[in-house]
Every structure is written in structure tokens, then in C-alpha cells.
Structure 1
Amino acid sequence: MSKSVEPSIAALFDAAKTAQRRAYTPYSHFNVGAALRTPSGAIFAGCNVENAAYPQGACAETGAISAMALAGETRIAEMLVIGDGEGLCTPCGGCRQRIREFASPQTPVHIAGPDGVRLTLSLAELLPYSFGPENLKT
């Protein structure tokens, strides 16, 4: 990544890129990595993991969120997802909802390719009119 990139984004990119290289994708051969930063500054990463009961695998975003929860953290301050190819590798619908559970509508989600960030969206732009934990409070 270019040195002109904000250090927090560069750290997320590096963590997601490392995770992407470790993805287990014997069926789709499409490796995805994700990394998130919590308000404490901790970074957690995940990769997609497929299995023979395709498509019952786990997404990279799910792995990163699970690692965050295992460490006892519950808030996402920023997230980055990386995939190869020309198209944008945005989180699937299920992952958008998982991110929403732990993030605010203003949380930035960076969509990256091999050479860096291609697009940054707020979670509200990625998942408009979302349903979240506050909807269940009476």
C-alpha cells in the first residue's frame, strides 16, 4: 500500500491481506480477507473457510468478528475487506448484518483489492435502513 494511506487503514489492509493469503478455498478458489479495528485499537482478522458442504463455509468478516468477540471486545470502529479481481468484494448480506450488530451506522467499511482501498462506505450506505439491537429495546 502507498505510504500516503492513513496508518490505521494500512494496518487493516496488511492484516486483511495476510488473512486472505491463509484462506481455505478449495471449491471457489476466491480468497477473501477481512480485518477490523475496535475502539481500543485492537485489530482482528479473518479469512473465508470453505468445506465440502459448499456453500456452508464461513466468510472472512465472520471470522474477524468471531475473533473480536472471543477476545472480549464488542464494538467495531472500522473494517476492511479484501478480495481479488476487478469487481468490488463487498460483504455479503449476512455479513452486513453481522457487522451491524457490532458497529454504528457511521462505521467506515473499506473495500479493497490487491493494490489498496477501492471504496469506503459507511455501514449505513452499505446496509441502509438496517435492523439492529436498538430495534429490540422496548
Structure 2
Amino acid sequence: MVVGKQAPRDLIDAALMARDKAYAPYSNFFVGAALRTAGGKVISGCNVENAAYPEGVCAEAGAISSMVLSGETKFDEIAVVGLGDVACTPCGGCRQKIREFTGPDATIYIINESGETLLTLSREELIPHSFGPENLK
């Protein structure tokens, strides 16, 4: 964990704006994410719930889907924001999605709703000993 490394302002702002657009009428737990592609684009996503709870989409997954739609398949950093001052770290499924589209030194920023960086993690810290495409060879 890199203590004190702050998320870039453009990622913070994009993640906060995405969180404000989240659709969470059931849990009222709004999440936003913003990633920077290897090509330098900032792409964001928000969580979208569904009355059939397991069918919702996480903010990180939404951002990654938008990235792929834009024609890119790698990102270097991602910021995730939930509510309050509690760290809203990616769920297990999103950790695997992050693993699929990043290199080992990708940076994951967990920020609070005030835009302060709570945690700065490398991909390896977020998901150590992970399973990835090279395991399939």
C-alpha cells in the first residue's frame, strides 16, 4: 500500500460525478468509478441496481465495459468512491475484472465522498496471487 499517494484530481472528479448518477433505489448505496486507459482517456461508471438484486452492475464493471466499447482493453489506474468515509473497495468480481485489464503495477485509489484518498493499492495488493489470462496457457 502506498501511503499518502493521492488520486489524480481528474479521476476523483469523474468518479464523484459518476457516483452522483448511480441508480441505487434499493440499497441507497451509490458508487462511482473512473479509470484512465493506457491511451490516456478517463472513463467512468456507476452502479446500477435491479429489483432482482444479483442482476445489478457495479461501478467498476460499468467503467470497464465502457472502456472496452471505446476500443481500449487496458487501464493503468482506477478510482472508486462510495458513501461516507469508509473505504469502498472493489468486490471480488470487480477485482477479477480489474485483474483482466491491468498490469501488475496498476494503481487502485479508494476515495471518500469528500474526494480524499483513503487507500492507494497496486493491483497485486488488491488481488494477490491472482488468476489471469497467462494461467490459461
TM-score of the aligned structures, taking structure 2 as reference length: 0.92
How many Å apart are 1:113 and its aligned residue? 0.3
Note the 1:1-138 alignment, pairs <5 A: 9-115=8-114, 116-137=116-137
- What SS does the aligned partner of 1:44 have? strand
- What SS does the aligned partner of 2:80 have? strand
Distance 2:123 2:74 in 1: 13
How many Å apart are 1:136 and its aligned residue? 1.2
Alpha-carbon contact 2:85-2:113 (below 8 Å) kept: no
How many Å apart are 1:92 and its aligned residue? 0.2
Identity of aligned residues (%): 58
- What SS does the aligned partner of 1:88 have? coil
Distance 2:12 2:69 in 1: 22
Distance 1:136 1:31 in 2: 35
How many Å apart are 1:86 and its aligned residue? 3.0
- What SS does the aligned partner of 2:12 have? helix
Amino acid at match of 2:47: N
Distance 2:33 2:87 in 1: 14
Deviates most, 49-58 or 26-35 = 49-58
How many Å apart are 1:55 and its aligned residue? 2.9
- What SS does the aligned partner of 2:88 have? coil
RMSD over aligned CA atoms reads 1.3
How many Å apart are 1:132 and its aligned residue? 0.6
Amino acid at match of 1:132: G
Higher relative contact order (CA 8 A, sep 6+): 2
Amino acid at match of 2:113: P
How many Å apart are 1:19 and its aligned residue? 0.4
After superposing on structure 2, the runs of 4+ consecutive aligned residues of structure 1 that deviate more than 3 Å are none
Distance 1:67 1:56 in 2: 18
Q: How many residues align?
A: 132
